[in-house]
Amino acid sequence: MKDTELLSAYLDNELLPVERVSLETRLAEEPALRQELARLQQGDHLVKAYFAELDQRPLPADLETMIKNSQPAASLQVQTQVLPFPARKPPYLMRFAWASAASVLLAVGLLWFLPKGSELNPALIAALDTQPSGSVVELSASERVEILASVRRADGTVCRLYVEHRVDASSEKTACFAQRWKIQTEGKIPSEQATSDDPFASGYSFAPSYQPAAGHELPQNRMIESEERAWLLRH
* Pairwise pLDDT comparison (179 vs 173), residue with the higher score: 173
Classify residue 82: in a domain, yes or no: no
* Statement to judge: residues 111 and 149 lie in one domain: no
Q: pTM of this prediction?
A: 0.44
* Statement to judge: residues 112 and 135 lie in one domain: no
Structure confidence at residue 97 (pLDDT):
56
Q: Which residues, including other chains, have CB under 8 Å from residue 225's CB and lie 6 or more apart?
A: 132, 133, 209, 210
Average pLDDT, the chain: 72
Distance CA 60, CA 67 (A): 11
Confidence tier at 206 by pLDDT (50, 70, 90):
very low
Cα dihedral 103→141→131→21 (10° resolution): 40
Count of domains in the chain? 2
Classify residue 73: in a domain, yes or no: no
Classify residue 183: in a domain, yes or no: yes
Distance CA 157, CA 30 (A): 28
Tally the C-alpha atoms within 13 A of residue 151's C-alpha that lie toward its C-beta: 27
* Statement to judge: residues 211 and 147 lie in one domain: yes
* Statement to judge: residues 110 and 143 lie in one domain: no
* Statement to judge: residues 146 and 202 lie in one domain: yes
Question: What is the separation of C-alpha 172 from the centre of its chain, rounded to a whole number of angstroms?
Answer: 20
Rg (CA), the chain: 22
pLDDT digits 0-9 by tens, 112-134: 444 444 457 888 999 999 999 99
Segments forming the whole domain that contains residue 100: 1-57+90-116
* Statement to judge: residues 146 and 215 lie in one domain: yes
Q: Is the pLDDT of residue 148 over 90?
A: yes
* Statement to judge: residues 109 and 157 lie in one domain: no
Q: Is the pLDDT of residue 192 over 50?
A: no
Alpha-helix runs per DSSP H in 30-118: 31-55, 61-69, 91-107, 110-113
Classify residue 81: in a domain, yes or no: no
Instruction: Please name every residue paired with 164 in a beta bridge, in sequence order, or none if there are none.
Output: 145, 171
Distance separating the N- and C-terminal Cα atoms of the chain: 22
DSSP state of 212: P
Distance CA 185, CA 202 (A): 16
Confidence tier at 104 by pLDDT (50, 70, 90):
very low
* Statement to judge: residues 110 and 135 lie in one domain: no
Neighbours of 210 (CB within 10 A): 18
Reduced to 3 states (helix: H, G, I; strand: E, B; else coil), residue 146 is: strand
* Statement to judge: residues 140 and 108 lie in one domain: no
Instruction: Please name every residue paired with 172 in a beta bridge, in sequence order, or none if there are none.
Output: 163
Burial (0-12, 13-18, 19+ Cβ within 10 Å), 156: exposed
Classify residue 202: in a domain, yes or no: yes
Which helix (DSSP H) or strand (DSSP E) does residue 128 occupy?
helix 122-130
Classify residue 68: in a domain, yes or no: no
* Pairwise pLDDT comparison (49 vs 73), residue with the higher score: 49
The amino acid present at 119, given as its one-letter code, is E
The amino acid present at 157, given as its one-letter code, is T
Structure confidence at residue 147 (pLDDT):
94
Of 66, 82, 116, the residue that ends a domain is 116
* Statement to judge: residues 111 and 182 lie in one domain: no
* Statement to judge: residues 180 and 220 lie in one domain: yes
* Pairwise pLDDT comparison (152 vs 85), residue with the higher score: 152
Share of the chain above pLDDT 90, in %: 19
- Mean of the pLDDT values across residues 57-76? 63
* Statement to judge: residues 107 and 165 lie in one domain: no
The amino acid present at 146, given as its one-letter code, is E
